[in-house]
Structure 1
Amino acid sequence: MKSEIGCVIMASGLAKRFGSNKLLAEFDRKPLLCRAFAVTEGLHRVVVTRSTEVQALCEKYGIPVLHHAHPLRSDTVRLGLEYLLPRFPAMSGCVFLPGDQPLLTRKTLCCMVSAFCAQPDRKSQIFRLCEPQSGTPGSPVLFGADYFEELRSLPEGKGGGAVAKRHAEKVKLFPIRHPAELMDADTPDVLAELKTIFQNDSFYR
């Protein structure tokens, strides 16, 4: 994975629909968030969370983590960038990756990062995954460095999608290889469905 790319693993949600901290729910014999650790290995990354349990998990696995008490999605984006930029000032882009997409594969993310890095004007590009048939966009999203200041000053409660919408002409959609890669484990029922796909679909073997 390209060393010039950062990654904010977004783990600050309250998981109200799930009923408990879904990032700690079991998936393939480990906490679900561990899937994001594996997918993003090699990137300059940080997990941004409001959960002391998630913080402890990150520390156990040696993953950089930023614990905070701010309430808004815009806070997670801003804090993640403000953690990474002083440490890796040469970043040409940053991935914003939800921690609850357990079927996203490392190969898909690596392919998107490689395609981004191949762009001569990559700092002004925005790449995001999409469903290949419908073109429906999803996460994660990879923003070039030209958008870092906008991302650090998002309107209250807004996520990076607001910046992508503002610069729609710069967005390149990158198709996923399996439809379940974009699925969030929003409820226990969806998590059970994702586990079934993971166990039975040859794509994940």
Structure 2
Amino acid sequence: MEYKTCESAPLGGALSREIPRIGVVLLAAGQSRRMGNNKQLLPWRGKTILDAVCHALQVGWEQSNSSWNLEAYPMVAVTGGDHDIDGIASSYGFSITHNSRSDLGQGTSIALGVQYLVNTFGTHSLDGIICSVSDQPLLDSMVIEKLIASFQQHRDETNRTIVVPKYGPTQHPGNPVLFGAHWFEALQHIEGDQGGRTIIRGAGHNFVEYVSIIPEWGFDIDTPEDYNDLQHRESEGV
């Protein structure tokens, strides 16, 4: 398949006012050890938790990139090869790549996803990439729109800007995170389970911008207790 990609405009000047071209990496190869079974496939609002996350990412990306004419979305789900997960993610426009080393930590999935997008769409076609986890069932498309809008406002000629959401009164940093193109090379070499935090707390520290998000949208699930809490929120209309 040939992709209709466009080179980014020359950096600098009015670029910050133009809509940036953003890709998405969805990390969906986790082991779900603390849950005991695959949390991404747990029932949620008539579908699954993975459906909810994919829908939010898809809609948020479409709302922010409607002028970018592509035959395929620059979105990839990094999975462990589970047929059901692959099918759900692909139904929302995600390409699929498999991580056979997911037991080595989240960093391997980030590296594979970024590498896939860079190789598929070209080094200069993306201004940034959003890295998202797959266990935030209350994620809203507005989070994606806010990340991209903040990146558009704050990016400079080096595309070093990193946008991190902070949730609720505690302003706890969370996911998803948008990394400017300057960090693509570093992202392709992340190892272990620290993920993008190695960049955010390290070389990228001075380039981080934060956006405030309501706490519900950042709720993630790791344990059966978390899932019970999620169902309680739904039954109580929280």
Q: Could you say whether these structures have the same fold, taking a TM-score greater than 0.5 normalized by the shorter chain as the test?
A: yes
Is there any run of 5+ residues in structure 2 with no aligned partner, and where?
A: 1-18, 63-72
- Compute the displacement of 1:106 (Å): 0.6
- Structure 1 residues without counterparts, runs of 5 or longer: none
Q: Which amino acid aligns with 1:180?
A: E
Contact 2:174 2:218 in 1 (8 A): yes
Q: Contact 1:128–1:137 (CA<8 Å) still a contact in 2?
A: yes
Residue in structure 1 matching 2:174, options 134, 138, 144: 138
Runs of 4+ that moved beyond 4 A: none
Tell me how far apart the structure 2 counterparts of residues 158 and 109 of structure 1 sit (CA, whole Å): 22
Q: Aligned to 2:112, which of 61, 79, 82?
A: 79
Return the offset for 1:161: 0.8
Question: Residue 179 of structure 2: SS of its match in structure 1?
Answer: strand
> Displacement, 1:154?
1.8
CA, structure 1 residues 151+67, in 2 after alignment: closer, same or farther (shift >3 Å)? same
Matched length: 200
Following the alignment from structure 1 to structure 2, what is the Cα–Cα distance between the partners of residues 117 and 198?
34
Aligned residue number for residue 216 of structure 2: 180
Which residue number corresponds to residue 27 of structure 1? 44
| Aligned-pair identity (%) | 27
Counterpart pick for 1:46 among 76, 79, 83: 76
1:103·1:198 contact (CA, 8 Å) conserved in 2? no
Tell me the amino acid that sits aligned with residue 112 of structure 2. L
Is contact 2:155-2:161 (8 Å) kept?
no
Across the aligned residues of Structure 1 and Structure 2, the Cα RMSD in angstroms comes to: 2.0
2:207 to 142, 165, 170: 170
Deviations along 1:107-135, whole A, 9 cap, x unmatched?
Answer: 12212211212234171101111124222
Aligned to 2:190: 154
Structure 1, 12-21 or 35-44: larger mean CA deviation: 35-44
**Partner SS, residue 34 of structure 2:** coil
Structure-2 change in CA distance of 1:25 and 1:114 (3 Å): same
Larger Rg over CA atoms:
2
Amino acid paired to 1:174:
V
1:68 matched to 2:99: yes
- 1:94 aligns with 129
TM-score of the superposition, structure 1-length normalised? 0.88
The TM-score normalised by the length of structure 2 is: 0.77
- SS of residue paired to 2:201: helix
